[in-house]
Amino acid sequence: MIYFMPNADSNTPTSHEQSSAQHAVILHRVVRFEINPTTTGLGRYYELAIACQGTPDQETGYLVDIHAIDDLVRTHLIPIINAACQSAPEPSPASLLPQLWAAANANFNHPIVSLTWQLTPMKRIEMNTTTASDHFVFRQRYEFSASHRLHSEKLSPETNRQVFGKCNNPNGHGHNYTVEPTLTLPINDHTCTHTAVDSIVEEFILAKLDHKHLNADCPSFDQTAGGVMPSVENIAKYCYQQLQAPAGGLADGAELVSITVWETDRTSCTYPATI
């Protein structure tokens, strides 16, 4: 495959570079595996996802053979995790990310843009080309239940029903929401644990929203007192604003990147917008 290097004499992309960028893709491959998968002992189930970026080959249509990614993970990355689980299981999984990232890039002949380790169905950690070498990306999903009503006093009753449909029910309706903050955290700060993240999410989001009627119980969504419509878009923004300062206080260099809120499994919103 051909990769076009930047023009050393100019910051202006060449026509080849522009064409390559226009046709670039990001390919994701997930490898699932177990550590100590026996019938008599306790095993660990994990997933590693590798993302590669580039322009697919014109003949095959492939960016890279996915079996090559499988081989990379099973030959060079899983042994690192297996050794840590066997010999030193206490350290944070994030402490292994730099070693995994270095091994992945050293043993693969294609640009890797991210490496994501799914630790549980709700928690994953990641290194990518935009994170500093001593930081990682942390994502954890949480759930809460709440009711709301979508209604604007500036619209007629008929228009409200047309715009919001069943969501305009006078007594409201409920959802089982999922909220996922994305943070960058320092790898070597052992006080910045997932339990610390759990604590601030519980205090600043879940305690304020769980089992609440958002219009009536949450001032930020009380439109009679200057609040905003409790749409999933505004809920995502509210959660970000609530968590931004506490997340920054977790450790030096900790930062809340974004928050995604799912209203249903088919409808979600991320704030602020990220591509």
154: left (phi over 0), alpha (psi -120 to 50) or beta: alpha
Locus of tokens 């066997």: 86
In one-letter notation, the amino acid at residue 67 is H
Residue 13 tokens, joined: 């992309």
**Is 167 known to be catalytic?**
yes
By the 8 A CB rule, do 114 and 51 touch? yes
Q: How far apart are the first and last CA of the chain?
A: 26
By the 8 A CB rule, do 120 and 140 touch? no
174: left (phi over 0), alpha (psi -120 to 50) or beta: beta
| Catalytic choice (110, 180, 263, 269) | 263
By the 8 A CB rule, do 145 and 152 touch? no
| Catalytic choice (135, 148, 167, 192) | 167
| Catalytic choice (23, 28, 173, 211) | 211
Q: How many residues are listed for the chain in this entry? A: 275
Q: Kindly report whether the peptide bond that precedes residue 37 is cis, defined as omega within 30 degrees of 0.
A: no
**Is 239 known to be catalytic?**
no
Instruction: Report the sign of the C-alpha dihedral through residues 67, 29, 266, 203, in that order.
Output: positive
Nearest CA to 74 out of 99, 48, 54 is that of 48
**Is 211 known to be catalytic?**
yes
Q: Which residues are catalytic?
A: 167, 211, 263
